[in-house]
Amino acid sequence: MTPPFVRTAPSPTGFLHIGNVRSIMFNWLFACRHGGRFLLRYDDTDAVRSKPEFAEAIAEDLAWLGVVPDRVIRQSDRLAIYDAAAQRLRDAGRLYPCYETADELDRRRKRQLARGLPPVYDRAALKLTAQDKAQLEAEGRKPHWRFLLEPRIVAWSDLIRGEAHVDCASLSDQVLIREDGSYLYHLPSVVDDAETGITHVIRGEDHVTNTAVQIQIFEALGAKLPVFGHHNLLTTASGEGLSKRLGHLSLRGLRESGVEALAVAALAVLVGSSDAVRPVASLDELADLVDLAHVSRAPAKFDEHELEALSARTLHQLPYEAVAERLAGLGVDGCEAFWLAIRGNLAKIDEARMWDEVVRGQLAPVIVDPDFAATAASVLPPEPFDATTWKSWTAAVSAATGAKGKALFMPLRQALTGLDHGPELAALLPLIGRDKALRRLAGEAA
C-alpha cells in the first residue's frame, strides 16, 4: 500500500471530547500502521463560532494524546481556493442560486410533512428566470447556493463497513454557500481533501450521507476520490449520544482528572472489542492491534469506570523511560527501581509523590509494639541492601520474636511506611535505606 495521508478536521468551536478521539485515533493509528502522514485541518469557516483559543486547545490536546500532525492548515486561509472551485461548479451547472428565506423553507417543509412527503428541497429555484432573479436581488435578497445532486445511487467500498451506498434521489440539494458568501462544510472539505492529496477519509458514521454528497462533488470537480471509512460513534454506557455531554469528558477534563492519555486513546478505539481490557505501552503497540477492516461494529459504549480501570492498568506496565520526565515534573526524584516498586500501586501517576515521601521524605512511623520494633531493628542486616534483604531480615525477625504472617509483616510495614498497605517492602526497603529504617523502627519521625 502506498503510504496513506489522513486527516482530522475539527472545527475550533469547542474543546475536543472523548467522542472525537475515536476518529482522531483511527486516523492516526492507520497512518502509523502504514507509514503514512497525518494532516490537522481546522474547519474554521464559521468566523463567528471559531475561536483561536479552541484551535490552541485542540493542538495541545492532540499533543497530549501523542498525535503529532505532519501538516496543519486552516480553512480560513484558503477561501480563494474554494471560490475557484465554486466557480467551476457554477460553470458546470452544478451550483445554483436560491433565494428562499429560512422561514419560507421551513413552511415548505412543514407542508410536505403534513402531506406525508419527504422534506426534500423542491428545486423551485431552478425554475427562476434571469428576470425573476434580477427582481429578487432588486428586492434586496441575496442568494445562497445549492449543489445540484444527480438523482442516483452513490456506492463506495467502505474501509470499515464494506460495500456501502446511498440513494441521492432522496436527498435535498445541499447548501454549499450561505447568503453572506461564507462556506458551509461540504465544499471546503472536498476541495481540501482533493487539493492536499488525502488518500483516506476516516470519520464517524454520522457522515455516511455526507460522503455520498461529497463523492458527487469530487466527481463534479474532476478530483480523485479518496477511500472512505466510517466507524460507529461512541455512546454513553446507557447508549445515548456523547456529543452534547461534554464537560468532564472533554480531553482537558480527562487530562486534569489524571487519566493516562494512552488509556484514553486505547479505549476510544478498542471499546466494545475484547482487546479493550488490555493495556498498551505505546501508540505503536495500539496501531498493531487496530485493523480498520476488523474494527468492532458492536455498540461502542464508553464507560468512565472502564477508563479509570484501564488507565491504572496502563500505568502498572509502563516502563521507566515512558514516565521519567513526568515523574520529574511531579517533583519526584525517582529512579527506575523506585518506579518499578511503586507503579503497581498507583491509580494515578501523581500518587507517586506520596511514595516518594515514604522513600525520601519524613514520616511519622506507626509503632504498636516498641519491643518488637527494637528486636527487629537489632537484626536488620548491614548495607548494602538489595532485593533479598527483606526476606533475610524478616526471617531473622521471625526467629527472634516467633511472629509469623501478618503479625510479622504488618508492624514492620507500619513502622517503615506509616501505612498499612502499599508496594512490596522487598522493593521499598532498599530505597528507604538502613539509616531511615532504623530511625523509623525507633519511633522517630524520619
Closest CB to ligand GLU among 201 and 312? Answer: 201
If one asks whether residue 16 binds ligand GLU (CB under 6 A), the answer comes out as no
Q: Which helix (H) or strand (E) holds 44?
A: none
The string of DSSP letters for 259-297 reads: --HHHHHHHHHHTTSGGGGS--SSHHHHHHH--GGG---
Q: Find how far residue 188's CA is from the centre of its chain.
A: 24
Q: How far is the CB of 142 from ligand GLU (least distance, A)?
A: 25
Residue 43 sits in the site that holds ligand GLU (CB under 6 A): yes
C-alpha cell at 148: 445540484
10 binds ligand GLU (CB under 6 A): yes
Question: Which cell goes with 104?
Answer: 419560507
Compute the least distance from the CB of residue 211 to ligand GLU, in Å.
9
Q: Least separation, in Å, of the C-beta of 203 and ligand GLU?
A: 4
Helices within 317-424 (DSSP H only): 320-329, 336-342, 352-360, 370-378, 389-401, 405-417
Contact 260, 350 (CB under 8 A): no
Site stretch for ligand GLU (CB under 6 A), options 9-17, 326-334, 359-367, 378-386: 9-17
Among 33, 144, 203, 252, binds ligand GLU (CB under 6 A): 203
Residues 228 and 76: their CA atoms lie apart, in Å, by 25
Stretch that binds ligand GLU, among 7-15, 89-97, 223-231, 265-273 (CB under 6 A): 7-15
Considering only residues 154-193, where is the footprint of ligand GLU by CB under 6 A? 185, 189
Q: Provide the sign of the torsion angle of the four alpha carbons 50, 53, 55, 57, taken in this order.
A: negative
Distance CA 232, CA 202 (A): 11
The helix (H) or strand (E) run that includes residue 5 is: strand 5-8
Work out how close the CB of 352 gets to ligand GLU at its nearest, in angstroms, rounded to a whole number.
37
- Using rule CB under 6 A, residue 27 touches ligand GLU: no
Choose one: 3-11, 132-140, 306-314, 337-345; the region binding ligand GLU (CB under 6 A). Answer: 3-11
CB 241 to ligand GLU: min, Å: 14
Minimum distance, C-beta of residue 45 to ligand GLU, in the bound complex (Å):
9
Contacting residues toward ligand GLU, per CB under 6 A:
9-11, 43, 185, 189, 203, 207
